[in-house]
Structure formats: C-alpha cells, structure tokens
Amino acid sequence: MDQTIIIINIGKALITLLFIIEILLFIRAILSWFPGAGITKFGTIIYQVTEPILAPFRRMVSRSVIQGNIMIDLSFVVAILIIELTKYLISLATNAPYM
C-alpha cells in the first residue's frame, strides 16, 4: 500500500473517533436536561465514557452562574471546540476529509 493512502486512512480513523466522542458528548448534554436520566444504565455508560474527556476541561474552566441559580458547564463547550480544532488539524496534516 502507498504511504499516502495509509496516512489518509489513519487521519480518517482519528477524525471518525473524535466525531464519535462528539456524539457521545452531545448525548450526555441532552441527558443532563432530564432528571434521573444519568442514573439509567444507558446514562451511566455515557457518563463513564465521557467523564474522562470532560474532567480535564472542568478543572481548567469554572462553572458560570447565570441569573443567580442557573449553572452552565463551559467545559463541554471548551471540549467540543478543542475536538473540532484537533479534527481540523488532523485533516490538514493527513489530507483526510473533515467531518
């Protein structure tokens, strides 16, 4: 196999993995809107998979309070932005299609 094709396929695999992580993060965000959804078997799996991804960002970014009682976890936004940037850079480096 040609080296260029191997590099492109590695890039595609990495971008696909990051895309799957983004989907899981969005599912987690949606689950957070429903009380008790996080304690279901499905919710527990999603939280266990995504927590190691969000934890470093949560340590860097504090939660913001809006109107005194609404908390917004900005670590999710930062994580998505970093993942998108990483996908873009992988795409540029490997000539793999960007998702």
% of the chain residues with pLDDT over 70: 89
Residue at 9 is within a domain: yes
**Structural domain span for residue 47:** 3-94
Does residue 51 lie within any of the structural domains?
yes
Distances (CA, A) of 94 to 10, 28, 37, 98: 8, 30, 39, 10
Q: Which pTM does this prediction carry? A: 0.83
Euclidean distance between CA atoms 83 and 2, whole angstroms: 28
Total of domains in the chain = 1
CA-nearest of 23, 10, 12 to 79 is: 23
Question: Which carries the bigger pLDDT value, residue 70 or residue 13?
Answer: 13
Q: What is the chain's mean pLDDT, rounded?
A: 87
- 66 domain residue, yes or no: yes
- Flag whether 25 is in a domain: yes
In a domain, 7, yes or no: yes
In-domain check, residue 99: no
The answer to the question of residue 20 being in a domain is yes
